[in-house]
Chain A
Amino acid sequence: MESSAFEIVIYLAWRIGFGSIIFAVLLFVVVFAMRRYLNNKAKRAIAFREVWEPIMLASLDRIPDDLPPIEEKDHITYLIIWNYFQELLLDESKRNLQILANLTDLDLIAKRILRKRNIKGRLLAVNTLGWLKDKDSWNLLKKLLNHTDTTFSLAVARALIQINPRKSTWLILPLIAKRKDWSIERCADLIKQMGVEEVADKLILQINRTPKHLLPKMIRFLDLLLPSETNPVIRRMLTKYEDKEISYACLLAYKDVDNLQRIRFFLTHEDWEIRMQAAICLGKYGSEDDIDFLISTTEDSEWWVRYRSAQALARIPEMSLEYLKVIADHHSNKFSRDVILRIVTEREVAESCGLSY
């Protein structure tokens, strides 16, 4: 007993059912067609590599006289191989790769691909123009620097630095501060590419200009600089700001061996992460004078502070394993004893493996 509404449903069920079967058959055909197409594309790429990888290897010594033509279908593969060699080799070996690129009009190929929509091609193109140090692309790349796509904008930044490190510094440093999607790791890579020594003063200037809420990220990069450059900045930051995030970042980058009094002060900070980081600092730069401070911090209420304090104790140059055991034995606090004994064992294991602790 089927109502008219139900009949409509049955009608639709037939139509959609048959339509779906046809669509499913179409998908079946498309999958195999795509497979064939992609297999052919892969075979073509392999064939291209078999010709061009030996050419590129040989080019490191001497560029061959007869270079085979590169068809448009092979452009992406060519970019991949060329970029791979660029990433792999040291600068001295790459000179002939640049000449090879000129002989094959690689810059024109890259610019053509950059105008297309495919993100894979565009990324390769940007990377290529960077390695080519193509000055003609400067304005084009500069426009793309603020692209919302993280991967793409970072690739553009890198390319601009490669083309002209000095000119790109003041384009990129503010973005390093501003862009939350640019990770510390990638930004550190960019700064290293600019040349840490060359850009140190500009980085410090940028840090001084950076608004407070963006400082924690920027301060981390001070770790790339020399202590003589870092120390005045850190001292100023620690004096000026009581913000937990800023203090933490400063402690991460701290290298002021002659000014550990401030660090000792942080051992009693209300925030446990600050106390922990202060203990780590003393482990790196502390001396015999800090032993008592660290022993008392092994009684901290927060486990991580106790652990890092005990580790720091073990890392003080004057601290021997025997002395650590004595400290543990004589400590009245159970938690301190436990954590110090754990560090003793960790250090014994490390030393037995020939590793430093």
Chain B
Amino acid sequence: MWIELLINLQWLCIIFFVGINIGYFLLILLTFQNLPSYVNRQVLREFPKQQTDFSMPISIVVACYNEEGAIVQTVLSLLQINYPEFEIIVVNDGSKDSSLNNLIEAFEMVSLPIAVRQYLPHKPIRGIYQSKKIPNLRVIDKENGGSKADALNAGFDTAMFPLVCPLDADTLMDKESLNYMVQPFLENPLTVASGGTVRIVNGCKVTDGVLVEVDTPKNFVALFQLIEYMRAFHFVRVGWSAINAVPIISGAIGLFKKEAVYEVNGYNPKTHAEDLEIVLRLHLHYCEQNKPYHIANVAKAVCWTEVPESLSILRRQRVRWQKGFIESLWMNRKLAFHRRGGTMGWIAMPFQFLFEGVSPIIEILGYILTVVSFIIGALSLQALVAFLLLAFSVGFVISFTTILIEEILFRTYPKTKNILILFLTAILENFGYRQLNAIWRCQGLINWLRNVEGKREIPRLNTWQTPAK
């Protein structure tokens, strides 16, 4: 009986393995079909262009919690963005350190009377500051809401412009990113949100908020994440975008129609994956309202962010992310197989539930079953080697394809040594890192089932941001 159960579970793992990889290959195909022509179409953007009075102004909202070492540099780097009209709103979410004082001092901020309209749920605003040096810079000081969602809601409420770009405090945005991210809104009036590509700044050289040299990280933990991010942004999101089923816009770089965020009552402070949850809720909202809409992914809108370099911090992050991921999917489960759900409801959501949500359990189960089956003689050595070969080789193909996409279309890494490192990392991640990730994600899933809260803060190195003087 036990052997039979073992065999049945093995079949489940095999079917699951086939399903998820077919899904990834289809996304890769969609990427090759769409991404090259998108990149090529940007050629005219490289020419000098006159600004017009008709461009869509953008509010950049930066949520800041205990970022005293970094926030001034972050703002300085944002001021270098090339876009006709934008404002920067830093939301100081009840920081316990000197984030607010650093901003006030660095930018000569004066207090404005608090006259703010509150549409979205967030903790009270304690103060509004306007910079005397930089007219388009404001700081909102508010009581701590316990979540980034709360801070972003306050940012949206105080934003002056119809498009809002929420950013992480440690995000280094490419100068042209807003120009790229606004394109879907210009070309399709139904666009309610667009997301960009997140790259890893670890190992790169940044001077005065400007990226001056790109390099791969020196740390293996960061390198493994580099390959993961490349897969996520080079083909997973591009592929979903090709069938209008973008399931997530990264919290590090996104652009939203303010009105659309109001329609869904803003970010949900009850989840740790507020960036995923709001996009799913937008999809659900427009499906339920039977209103046409569009959510885009813009591959050339790039931002750089720092990733954890220690396994303990990474573990905390990934456990939290997976918990947030599952709870966001669960909160918006009505979207799955919604009769007006389209590709999002009928393809992307089931895929997310099954292959991203539940996959860590199946993956761990697969490893355990394979080993146990081998030990008890239910699986021959030949079969064991065959399965391991299949699992690793398919993983190599997917990662190597991602590197090919990177090399043909983006060419971010100038040195041949970088590419060799990427290949090596893509191979090595299969021997330990992926398995660890699966365990952490399992833990995240279990935390969700048990309703366990993790720590909000993920310590950052802030290596690209020099301390404020």
Interface residues of A (CB under 8 A from B): 1-3, 6, 9-10, 13-14, 16-18, 20-21, 23-24, 27-28, 30-32, 34-35, 38, 80, 83-84, 87-88, 118-120, 123-124, 127, 149-152, 155, 180-181, 183-186, 188-189, 192, 220, 223, 302-304, 306-307, 335, 338-339, 341-342, 345-346, 349-350, 352-353, 355
Interfacial chain A residues near B10, Cβ < 8 Å? 6
- Chain B minimum-CB-distance residue to A3: B7
**Pairwise interchain contact A220-B54, C-beta atoms closer than 8 A:** yes
Q: Which residues of B contact A127 (CB under 8 A)?
A: 44
A254 to B110, CA, bound (A): 34
Q: Indicate if the CB atoms of A185 and B390 lie closer than 8 Å.
A: no
User: A28 is contacted by which of B113, B382, B400, B416 (Cβ under 8 Å)?
Assistant: B400
Given contacts A13-B390, A349-B110, A353-B132, contact A87 B41 (CB under 8 A): no
Question: Is residue B49 contacting chain A, with contact meaning CB distance below 8 A?
Answer: yes
Complex-state Cα separation, A31 to B404, whole angstroms:
5
What are 12 contact pairs spanning A and B, CB under 8 A?
A: A1-B378, A13-B389, A13-B390, A24-B400, A31-B400, A80-B43, A88-B47, A123-B41, A149-B41, A185-B56, A350-B135, A352-B132
B residues whose Cβ falls under 8 Å from a Cβ of A: 3, 7, 10, 14, 37, 40-41, 43-44, 46-50, 52-56, 110-117, 128, 130, 132-133, 135, 185-189, 378-380, 382-383, 386-387, 389-390, 393-394, 396-397, 400-401, 403-404, 407-408, 411, 416, 419, 423
With contacts A118-B40, A338-B113 known, is A349 near B130, CB below 8 A? yes
How far, in whole Å, are A306 and B113 apart by their CA atoms in the complex?
14
- Which residue in B46, B387, B400, B401 is a CB contact (below 8 Å) of A13? B387
Instruction: Report whether B393 and A17 are in contact in the complex, using a CB–CB cutoff of 8 Å.
Output: yes
Known: A31-B407, A188-B52, A342-B112. A17 touches B386 (CB 8 A): yes
- Interface pair A21/B393, CB less than 8 Å apart: yes
B390–A16 contact, CB under 8 A?
A: yes
B187 close to A31 (CB less than 8 A)? no
Contact (Cβ within 8 A) A345 B113? yes
Contact residues in B for A123 (Cβ distance below 8 Å): 40-41, 43-44
* Residue contact B110 to A345, C-beta cutoff 8 Å: yes
Chain A interface secondary structure, helix, strand, loop or mixed? Answer: helix
Q: Is B396 within 8 A of A24, CB to CB?
A: yes
The residue on A at minimum CB distance from B6 is A1
Q: A23 to B132, alpha carbons, bound, how many Å?
A: 60
Does the CB pair B41–A151 fall under 8 Å?
Answer: yes
Chain A nearest Cβ from B41, distance in angstroms: 5
In the complex, are the beta carbons of A38 and B407 less than 8 A apart? yes
Distance, CA A88 to CA B46, complexed state (A)? 11
B117 → chain A, closest Cβ, in Å? Answer: 3
Please measure, in the bound complex, the distance between the C-alpha atom of A155 and the C-alpha atom of B42, giving whole angstroms: 12
The reply to whether B132 and A13 contact each other, CB–CB distance below 8 Å, is no
Contacting residue for A338 out of B49, B114, B132, CB 8 A: B114
In the complex, the answer to whether A27 meets B135 with C-beta atoms within 8 Å is no
Q: Are A303 and B117 in contact (CB under 8 A)?
A: yes
Closest-by-CB residue of A relative to B422 is A31
Complex Cα distance, B257 from A118, in Å, reads 33
